[in-house]
Amino acid sequence: SQQGEEDPQALSIQEGENATMNCSYKTSINNLQWYRQNSGRGLVHLILIRSNEREKHSGRLRVTLDTSKKSSSLLITASRAADTASYFCATVARMDSSYKLIFGSGTRLLVRP
Amino acid sequence: SQTIHQWPATLVQPVGSPLSLECTVEGTSNPNLYWYRQAAGRGLQLLFYSVGIGQISSEVPQNLSASRPQDRQFILSSKKLLLSDSGFYLCAWTGQVNSPLHFGNGTRLTVT
């Protein structure tokens, strides 16, 4: 089963509005990462938040982490049409001598101009 | 700087034909390498990962296999493709544990 699950599955907003996406996970984590994927392309890393951090900012992005609720949120402020993409959260699971990222099913964001 | 190359970008193959997708990384050594598959409109499913040459771990038993003949080369293969193998295949690497993944641009595979 997926470690991370995002909601909503799809979000449509007007340019200039804020977009909030949520992610829930099941097991304890070392960190949680958010990625963006433009249609038909690979994923691009946006931001990493460690388990001992509660909030992190990067430009128009704000990520929060609540380890007691096993949840995270990604806020994009003052959205632009170019923010249209799918957004995924991912958590790290240890496997043998390595680590793997487990991805959620993503939130498809549409920003209408 | 590090770069990742994945090819081909698109591929249409008949059922029963073989498959070979290649991924190479430049500018780093001993990367952790990953193959993911993404169904249309869905999340990523981890298929294989490798921590070193010849070391492959499989996440999901299926019609696919992976090999790592060189430190920075990761190959995804199949002897006989199934219709269900269609999807978007992504290669990724990371240099350090718990660090972000760097993805290639993916291969869109359609099995007909």
How far apart CA A96 and CA B32 sit, in angstroms, is 13
Per-residue confidence in pLDDT tens, chain B, 112 aa: 889 999 999 999 999 999 999 999 999 999 999 999 998 878 899 999 998 999 998 887 678 999 999 999 999 999 999 999 999 999 999 988 778 999 999 999 999 9
Contacts of B51 in chain A (CB under 8 A): 97-98
Q: Do A92 and B98 touch (CB under 8 A)?
A: yes
Q: Cβ contacts (< 8 Å) between A107 and chain B: which residues?
A: none
Contacts of residue A95 in chain B, CB cutoff 8 Å?
49, 57
Give the distance from residue A44's alpha carbon to the nearest chain B alpha carbon, in angstroms: 7
Q: How many CB atoms lie within 10 A of CB B15?
A: 12
Question: pLDDT value at position A1?
Answer: 38
A99, A107, A108, A109, best to mutate vs chain B, most B CBs in 10 Å:
A99
Among B43, B90, B98, beta carbon nearest to A42: B90
pLDDT in tens, A29-62: 889 999 999 998 999 999 999 999 999 999 999 9
Strand partners, B88: B38, B108
Asked if the Cβ–Cβ distance from B32 to A30 is below 8 Å, we say no
**At which residue do the structure tokens 């957004």 appear?**
A87
**Cα B59 from Cα B23, distance rounded (Å):** 18
